[in-house]
Amino acid sequence: MSKKITSILIANRGEIALRVIRACRDLGIKSIAIYSDEDIRAVHVKRADEAYHIGPAAPAQSYLNMTKIVETAKAAGADAIHPGYGFLSENENFSEMCDKNGIIFIGPTSKAMELTGDKMKCKAVMKKAKVPTVPGSDGIVEDMQEAADIADEAGYPVLLKSAFGGGGRGIRLANDEKQLRQEFEMASAESRAAFGKAALFVEKYLERIRHIEFQLIRDSHGNSRHLFERECSIQRRHQKLIEMSPSPVVDQKTRERIGEIAVRAVDAVDYLNAGTAEFLRDPQGNFYFIEINSRLQVEHPVTELVTGLDLVKLQIGVAQGEELTFKQQDLKMNGCAIECRINAEDPFYEFAPSTGIVPNCNLPYGPGIRVDTYLYPGCNVSGYYDSLVAKLLAWGRNFDESRIRMKHALDEFMIEGINTTIPLYKTIMDDPNFIKGELSTDYLERFKILNKMSENAKEAAKKSAKAAVAAVLLQSEFVRKTEAIHQSSMPKSKWKMMRG
């Protein structure tokens, strides 16, 4: 494990592949990209030192094809594989396959990954390590009495969940014991009817929760550090849209307290490399561990901006057996960073996917602005892969400075040819609840943000009305003049085609 890495195959695409390529370059490591048929003109192919074709567009046959990727890594002479996020990043079989083939997997061991991937097992380990988890039963409850005892301990309201349910189905809310009895009977009957047996468990119902996570890094010598928190409460369909650090509700004392718990969590599973401990926070300020994400996260640049650290470079260092060079107390939080995930989705039309060629784009820049993206003029936004096309980040000395910089960077960000979530974020940056830090995972619905966005769009149309009419007049005038010239065969046009 203490072999110096000289070349890395990046088993991913899009902005994260480019991000890893940059880190490789900075470390003097050869970067090796892979690409599907769909991605031959993608930016990661152009920027890597080498690029290998690995299969058709469909992920199963390319970016998820473990055998092909390991073969390619061996043929190209790669010392290590960086999985990015998504695809094979949390696949313990892949990590193991790398291991068996003498390739360093830049991420946790397959053993740690297996444990963090099993929520029930992981929860049990955490309880043993005194990491607070969401109160409730450890597994399936035997009968109504056990359910009532657990509910008493956890405190009402509680949720009654069917082990066979999923996606919100089979979940029942109980505000007191009487209601719990009613619901328990009905749920048991329902479950027996559908699946032949009742398998229910009890969990405390958390309302108005925030999603707050701690970035962690742990080396092969057992040193663990937390790199502070990220607030990721603004979500849609359980997917994060906006992340920031610090969280408006985490003060230095809480940061240290929960940070220590997060460190305990990764120590408990003998974790390796970068990872994230995710917590729910209720309005009373209680934190409940929910899971460890055993990979580099999409939102890692938020942490990079407030710590000054380069997480991908750290990952590579840890993977080649280096010891972390900083102690917990060496780390200082500097200012505030916000990230908006620019997705190729239409926020005015139920976030429908939007794909195709981007004929032109303009990336924002300026003080405090960072963009991680695979976009370039002429690039293809493919329907085969996920909708994240860019991550826009703004750093400021405080929340307000970063928020205002973000707002104006969103104004500057121009992406032609596809719809994106930019209009949504513009609305959020100006929303008084966001400004007050009044966040929760139901933020979008709670404050009717989509309605506000539509109103803002109408306001914008009002402001642009004159210019829009002017454009129509110019367009028809241009056509008229062009036709007149064609008809009269005049050699020269006063309305020359100007290149601006």
Partner 1 sequence: MQFKVGDLAEMLEGEVLRTTDNNSVVVKIGGKQHTLQLLKSGTDEFEFLLDNSFHHAKILQVGTAEVKMMIDGQPLVVKKHSKLTEVLEKASAIGGVGGGDRNLTSQIPGRVVNIAAKPGTEVKKGDVIVVLESMKMQVAVKAHKDGNLKEIKVKQGASVARNDVLAVIE
Distances (CA, A) of 499 to 188, 453, 475, 495, 496: 71, 34, 16, 12, 9
Supply the minimum distance, in Å, between the C-beta of residue 256 and a second copy.
Answer: 20
DSSP state of 389: E
Question: Least distance from C-beta 204 to partner 1, angstroms?
Answer: 31
475 binds, among a second copy, partner 1, none (CB under 5 to 8 A by kind): partner 1
Residues that bind a second copy (CB under 8 A): 19, 22, 25-26, 41, 301, 304, 308-310, 334-335, 357, 362-363, 365-367, 369-372, 376-378, 397, 401, 404-405, 408, 499-500
Task: Count other C-beta atoms under 10 Å from residue 41's C-beta.
Answer: 12
Which whole-number Å values give the CA distances from 400 to 40, 75, 215, 432, in the listed order?
Answer: 41, 50, 23, 12
Binding segment for partner 1 (CB under 8 A), chosen from 153-161, 174-182, 432-440, 466-474, is 466-474
Tokens 């005049």, located at residue: 490
Query: Tokens 């997917």 sit at which residue?
Result: 239
Strand pairing of 7-10 and 30-36?
A: parallel
Quote the CA–CA distance of 408 and 425 in Å, as a whole number. Answer: 11
In a 13 Å sphere around the CA of 290, the CA atoms on its Cβ side amount to 16
Q: Six-digit token pair at 171?
A: 């979940």
- Binding flag, residue 471, partner 1 (CB under 8 A): yes
Question: Pick from 11, 21, 45, 80: which binds partner 1 (CB under 8 A)?
Answer: 45
CA 228/CA 305 separation, integer angstroms: 12
Give residue 95's identity as a one-letter amino acid code: S
Catalytic residues: 295
CB of residue 386 to partner 1, shortest distance in Å: 5
CA-closest candidate to residue 199, choices 239, 146, 155: 146
Judging by DSSP bridges, how do beta strands 158-166 and 169-174 pair with one another? antiparallel
| Minimum separation from the CB atom of position 429 to a second copy (A) | 12
Of the candidate residues 6, 25, 50, 249, the single one contacting partner 1 (CB under 8 A): 50
Among 82, 345, 374, 427, interactor with partner 1 by CB under 8 A: 345
Could you say which of a second copy, partner 1, none residue 357 binds, taking C-beta under 5 to 8 angstroms by partner kind? a second copy
- Residues numbered 367 to 406 that lie near partner 1 (CB under 8 A) are 383, 385-387
Q: Which stretch binds partner 1 (CB under 8 A): 38-46, 114-122, 152-160, 308-316?
A: 38-46
Query: Which of the choices partner 1, a second copy, none does residue 76 contact, using the CB cut-off of 5 to 8 A by kind?
Result: partner 1
| Helix or strand run (H / E) with residue 32 | strand 30-36
CA distance 488 to 379: 40
- In the list partner 1, a second copy, none, the entry touching 77 (Cβ below 5 to 8 angstroms by class) is none
Positions in 435-464 near partner 1 (CB under 8 A): 457-458, 460-462, 464
Nearest one of 430, 462, 426, 431 to 448, comparing CA atoms: 431
Query: From the list 66, 76, 363, 371, which residue makes contact with partner 1 (rule: CB under 8 A)?
Result: 76
Q: Which residues bind partner 1 (CB under 8 A)?
A: 40-41, 45-53, 76, 344-345, 349-356, 383, 385-387, 411, 414, 416, 457-458, 460-462, 464-475, 477-479, 481-482, 494-495, 497-500
